[in-house]
Amino acid sequence: MAATAPERAFEYHHTGGFSSTLARAMVTKTAAHAKAIMDGHRRDSTAMDMGTAVHQLLLRDDRVDVLPYDSFRTKDAQAERNLSRASGRIPLLIHQWEEANAIATAVREQIVALDLDPVPFTEGTAEHVIRWEENGVQCKAMLDWLRDDLDTIDDLKTTSDASPRGFQRKVWSLRYDIQAAFYLRAVSWDYAATPRFRWVAVETEYPYLVTVHELDKAALDNADALVEQAMTEWRECVAANHWPGYPAPVHQVGPVPWERDSWAGVDVDESVPF
């Protein structure tokens, strides 16, 4: 019997493999942070539950548990929430479920109105899992949506700001570029195909506006080089079972360019102690 959607997601998240999440941790944080994620030290939150629920509704691969409570303040509600998460599902309160459905409905309508070719989240597979070995590293990726013709990977991002400028800032602050390069690498290794990668950004506040984004070639090439670097460092950490954190011992703090510019024309009285 084929595995259900919750079973596939649970199996993916609870088995080993170098992922885009670990690659981003290696690049933006340290190997110690990546090891902590691998060991299961990740924070659950209601905001994450809402984003994941919208994912499931839009991708037509539902694994949401709607719990008959107004809040998670009671012990019974907390127990059911914890049981839901432990089984790989998403616990939502009734009002959260209603909001998630409202977001999903608005987003579907806007995606059709955008008149994109191909239309996002059509003629493909949701939560498409790829596993491969690359230069001695066991890798895994779970793509939000891979089209059957391997032409496009669509990735859904819920956010407070889907504006072109706002989402661009999020791409660089959360290093979504590394995720894009990692997923493209997965399809290239498994299918010898070169799809395009698109983010469909969805605001989680009314009117739930939608924008679509792609990396240009220069940004994608840079991200791919960072994935290569992260994979090399990961392989070395695994081999040595050594997961370094931040470098030591003392770090100098200097001005960022815009702070230095703000000093222009300001007289500093060096006789006044700080």
How far is 157 from 145, CA to CA, in rounded Å? 12
For the segment 225-244, what is each residue's pLDDT rounded down to a tens digit? 999 999 999 999 999 999 99
Report how far residue 243's alpha carbon sits from residue 130's, in angstroms, rounded to the nearest whole number: 26
Q: Please say if the pLDDT value at position 258 is more than 90.
A: no
Between 21 and 48, the more confident residue is: 21
Q: What is the structure's pLDDT at 274?
A: 46
In the chain, domain spans: 11-32+116-242, 44-115
pLDDT score at 148: 96
Asked if 53 and 265 touch (Cβ cutoff 8 Å), the reply is no
Residue-wise pLDDT for 168-184, tens only, equals 999 999 999 999 999 99
Is the whole model's pTM more than 0.85, yes or no? no
**Mean pLDDT value of segment 60-79:** 86
Backbone angles phi, psi at 197, to 5 degrees: -125, 130
> Can you give the pLDDT at residue 171?
97
- Name the band, by pLDDT with cuts 50, 70 and 90, for residue 257: confident
Mean pLDDT, the chain, integer? 88
Written as six digits, the tokens of 219 are 């940004």
Given the candidates 1.10.238.10, 3.30.1490.20, 3.20.20.70, 3.90.320.10, the CATH classification of the domain at 11-32+116-242 is 3.90.320.10
Using CB atoms within 10 Å of the CB of residue 198, give its burial: 0 to 12 exposed, 13 to 18 middle, 19+ buried.
buried
Strands lying side by side in the sheet with 196-203:
124-134, 137-147, 152-159, 196-203, 210-213
Predicted pLDDT of residue 55: 81
